[in-house]
Amino acid sequence: MGSPQRSSLCLSWRRVLCIFFLPFISSGFAPRVKNRDNFVFENDQLKPDQHRFNWSHLTPLKLKDRSVGLQTEERAGRNPYFTLEGHEFLIFGGSIHYFRVPRDYWRDRLLKLRACGFNTVTTYVPWNLHEPERGRFDFSGNLDLEAFVLLAAEVGLWVILRPGPYICSEMDLGGLPSRLLQDPASQLRTTNRSFVEATNKYFDHLIARVVPLQYRKGGPVIAVQVENEYGSFYKDKAYMPYLHQALLKRGIVELLLTSDNTDAVVRGHIKGVLATINMKTFKEGLFKHLYKVQSNKPILIMEYWVGWFDTWGNEHMVRNAEEVKSSVSEFIRLGISFNVYMFHGGTNFGFMNGATHIDRHRGVVTSYDYDALLTEAGDYTDKYFKLQELFKYILVTPLPLLPEPIPKTVYPSVDPSLYLPLWDALQYLNRPVISNIPLNMENLPINNGNGQSYGLVLYETTICSGGRLHADARDMAQVFLNETSLGILADGFQNIDIPKITECQLLRILVENQGRISFSWKIQNQQKGLIGPVTLNNIPLQSFTIYSLELKMSFFERLRSVSWKPVPTRSLGPAFYLGTLKAGSSPQDTFLTLPGWDYGFVFINGRNLGRYWNIGPQETLYLPGAWLQPEDNEIIVFEKKQRGPYIHTTDNPRW
């Protein structure tokens, strides 16, 4: 995913010059060649041929004799085109991120992709999730990349893999591990020595897993992307060639490609690699930069944005289904391969969300619904059925039967009758860090030297006078004197007045990482927590006790042996609230809604569902039935400000 810039895109087909365009699979649609670099549409009334394409023999299970894989070809008198094992082929791709979808539902989402008429699934690979600490790799459970790829093949889908190391994807730091920010001399996404060393070690492990999944090894991976949208970053001209060679040296033999926004492809492409572009819709001139760098290759729209992501405090983003169908129809008519971003967005479970910074820092919401073809919970949409109708018309082979919708339900409301103030819970956290100065999150000496990636950090120190407190807190900090709230530090507000005190008091600053920026040069400066000194009346404070609130499963396991308190009539401030969700004998999907609650996180049986916030636009949290156990389920809410009366469920998401 790319830049959050938007523009009003219009279309004037009678005037469109195909300086660039557009590989036609059917010679009947081939435009008359005016000259080598200027094609003109002969007829803007043409429509895709009925039953034009037959790729029933070009599926992972049926194509056994393999030698050449996905290739680009040219032929006199027509535009370039893709072939798969020598057969002309259009990529009908859809993006599904395995790490955003409960593993129990992977098959359902992939079957729905296939049943709609797509032939390829694309996915990013997030470095920060797969290598949470240096040298410790996690490809288990919901992060089992190989299982997802092989399941795609079983369903009948080819795979385009996008392994980064940077992926954007609206993830925290664009999918890069936050420990890379520990060294101020390190330069992300460059050939800086420390970044290259870290990337090489990661690729040594990751690409060894990918190599057996390639087409020529009998797997479904037909193409691999080199980095992601580097033309919009472009700090180091040697960086992309380095990554190109890094993939080749480790055994990647399938088609390599880059992906860039339409105006950045000039900077982002590299020699010997297919350049692809990303767009929202057609606009006159959008292909001119691509044609400058690549006129002899077929066109692939690597990201066709059918919707957009949401950020806290902004409106929910939607896109008209008829516009999407119209654009896809044009792609097919003109022989353009494309990848729908997103086919199914899923959920930013836990703390994986990223952020933007245009006018101010805004975290990406928990839902990655993206107004995609399937909803966050995997339900069909109008967009899905409009594209399925189109694909039915142009494909020779009937589409597979639609999988049944996954049922949703409403559970009895939950009354969280027990609570534990944050201050009482500190003893159940890991041992705090003692430091003379405040340390930012990434440089805390925890997690085997990897620092803290996500969550919150509590800084405590003693003060013996009032006055003007100054601190650079990222992204939001609550300031307390003992247990009394004094105010918020956020969005450039770095000062709070401390009232006069007659004896020494405990100053507490609770800082939350609301998501690191995932796009632009700003990723280099995404350290979280307290950045730099904390001063009182311009005098630096010292002697800090620092608690790391990563809120991992192990912490909630410890809380099960704690004596919780009955919830008082009125409770303010950060606290954990405990209740029981009764799911019956056969748990099903649902959505949590928290009317009256302010801001916090919900944990089901120790699993982090993500953030809620009453400023919207997201008003519900998706709770997969696959993550519930029969009958009683522990639900814990960490509320930062003020609790509401109940936790309700609904069978539909709300925006």
The catalytically annotated residue of 131, 170, 227, 229 is 229
Q: Which residues of 384-394 are buried (b: 16+ CB within 10 A; e: fewer)?
A: bebbbebbebb
315 part of the active site:
no
- Pick the closest to residue 124 from 11, 217, 6, 206 (CA basis): 206
In sequence order, which ranges of 506-649 are alpha helices (DSSP H)?
553-559
Given a contact cutoff of 8 angstroms between Cβ atoms, the answer to whether 2 and 519 are in contact is yes
Element (H, E) at 391: helix 382-394
* Neighbouring-strand partners of residue 589: 408
The catalytically annotated residue of 131, 227, 254, 303 is 303
Given a contact cutoff of 8 angstroms between Cβ atoms, the answer to whether 153 and 106 are in contact is no
Element (H, E) at 38: strand 38-40
Q: Which residues of 88-101 are buried (b: 16+ CB within 10 A; e: fewer)?
A: bbbbbbbbbbbbbb
Residue 415: other Cβ atoms inside 10 A:
13
Q: Is 493 exposed, middle or buried (0-12, 13-18, 19+ CB in 10 A)?
A: exposed
Cα 110 from Cα 131, distance rounded (Å): 26
SS3 at position 393? helix
Q: Read out DSSP for 319-352?
A: --HHHHHHHHHHHHHTT-EEEEEEEE--B--TT-
Q: Read out DSSP for 603-651?
A: EETTEEEEEEETT-S---EEE-GGGPPSSEEEEEEEESSB--S-BEEES
Element (H, E) at 357: strand 355-357
Given a contact cutoff of 8 angstroms between Cβ atoms, the answer to whether 475 and 510 are in contact is no
303 part of the active site:
yes
- The two tokens of residue 88 are 């002309």
Cα 165 from Cα 128, distance rounded (Å): 9
Angle at 317 between CA 316 and CA 321, to 5 degrees: 130
Q: What residues are annotated to the active site?
A: 229, 303
